Amino acid sequence: MKVTTKGHTTIIKDTEGNIVEFLDKINSQYNSFKEHNLILDISHDKSVDVKSIKIFSDLVKKHKKEKKSLVFVAPDIDYNKVPVSITVVPTQLEAQDLIEMDEIERDLGF
């Protein structure tokens, strides 16, 4: 797991290739991330599918309660099958753009 912080956003990149272990590590260290927007980059793991992204549902709900954004980077999945509550994009740049738009909406009171 590689962690990089840029402004109000923390990028956490899965380097292991095991989605369950990645989720466990994030959950165990969540208190240090909860005040930042999160980009979870799981593009390294080619076995990621919609089912494996759904295991993050509780984390997504918890992070939204903190009024922060959580975006996944996974290039090779069917985005139409991902639940609406989970945001998945193909690149880190798109994830950063989405977070910027979310921040603007929060600042405007939406």
Structure tokens belonging to residue 97? 């753009």
Residues 45-98 have pLDDT tens digits of 888 999 999 999 999 999 999 999 999 999 989 999 999 999 999 999 999 999
Structure tokens belonging to residue 58? 């509780």
Sorted by where each starts, the structural domains of the chain and their CATH numbers stand as 2-108 (3.30.750.24)
Residues 2-58 have pLDDT tens digits of 999 999 999 999 998 899 999 999 999 999 999 999 999 999 888 899 999 999 999
CB-neighbour burial class of residue 65 (10 A; exposed 0-12, middle 13-18, buried 19+): exposed
Size of the chain in residues: 110
Count the Cβ atoms, other than its own, within 10 Å of residue 46.
Answer: 11
If we measure between CA atoms, which residue out of 69, 103, 100 comes closest to residue 87? 69
